A and B are shown apart, each in its own frame.
Chain A
C-alpha cells in the first residue's frame, strides 16, 4: 500500500511561470518530508525539506508547503527555468524511522 502518492505523472510549464508539484501521504505519523530532483542517468539529489512543526520552508526559488490536516504537501518553483526540467520525488518519514517512503515522481518540463 502506497503511503506517499504523487498523482500527476507529468507537468509542463512555461519558463518564468510557477510550477506546483503536489504530494499526498496517508500516514499521520510522518514528521519529516523531502523533495528530491532527478535528472536522467543520475541519482536523485536532495532539493528541500520540511519538518512537521512548520508549514512552509523556503530556499531561493523553491518553497515547500505542508498541510498536516490534509496530509498534503506541495513544491512551488518560481520562476521556473528550463534547467528545472527533471523528475521530482516526494518522500516522507518519521525521523526516528528506518526509511523514507517515496512517491512515484512527477516529470516536470519547463518550456523555454
Chain B
C-alpha cells in the first residue's frame, strides 16, 4: 500500500462523456499533485495544491478541472476530452512546500475513444 490511492485504475470514456478521477492520501501530507504520463514523454505536471489551495496550473486545457476539497482528497474532473488525452494520470502527495519527494498513487489508465 503506497498511502496514495487512486480510483478508478482504468477508465474508457467517449469524447462527450464527463467523468472524474479520485485520489486519496493517508500520509498527512499538505501538497497534492496531478501528473500526466504519455508514452515517450516526461511526467508532465498538471496541477499542484498546497494546503488545499491551487498553486500551480501548467497551462492545462480547461477540459481538465481539478478539485481539492481537503488536504487528503484530490479530484480531476474530465469533460469533452480528446483521444490525445489518453494517458496514465498519476496523483502524488508530498509534505510540501519544502519538497523532498513525492509518494505516487498507482495511476488511472485513461483511454478516450
The answer to whether A and B come from one shared complex is yes
- Interchain CB contact (< 8 A) of A43 among B41, B56, B90: B90
- CB < 8 Å neighbour of A49 from B9, B98, B101: B101
The residues of B that contact A105 with a CB separation of less than 8 Å are 42
Asked if B48 contacts A99 (CB within 8 A), the reply is yes
> How many chain A residues touch the partner (CB < 8 A)?
27
Q: Tell me which of B4, B92, B101, B106 contacts A41 (CB under 8 A).
A: B106
**Could you give 27 example pairs across A and B, Cβ below 8 Å?**
A2-B42, A4-B42, A9-B40, A32-B99, A43-B4, A43-B105, A43-B107, A45-B2, A46-B103, A89-B43, A91-B43, A93-B99, A95-B99, A95-B100, A98-B48, A98-B50, A98-B56, A99-B33, A99-B45, A99-B56, A99-B99, A100-B99, A100-B101, A100-B102, A104-B40, A104-B41, A105-B42
Q: What's the count of A-B pairs with C-beta under 8 Å?
A: 65
Decide: B106 and A42 in contact? CB cutoff 8 A: yes
A binding-site residues for B, Cβ under 8 Å: 2, 4, 9, 32, 34, 36, 41-46, 49, 89, 91, 93, 95-105
Contact between A102 and B43, CB atoms less than 8 A apart: yes
Among A44, A45, A89, A96, chain B packs the most CB atoms within 10 A around the CB of A44
Given contacts A99-B48, A101-B42, contact A43 B99 (CB under 8 A): no
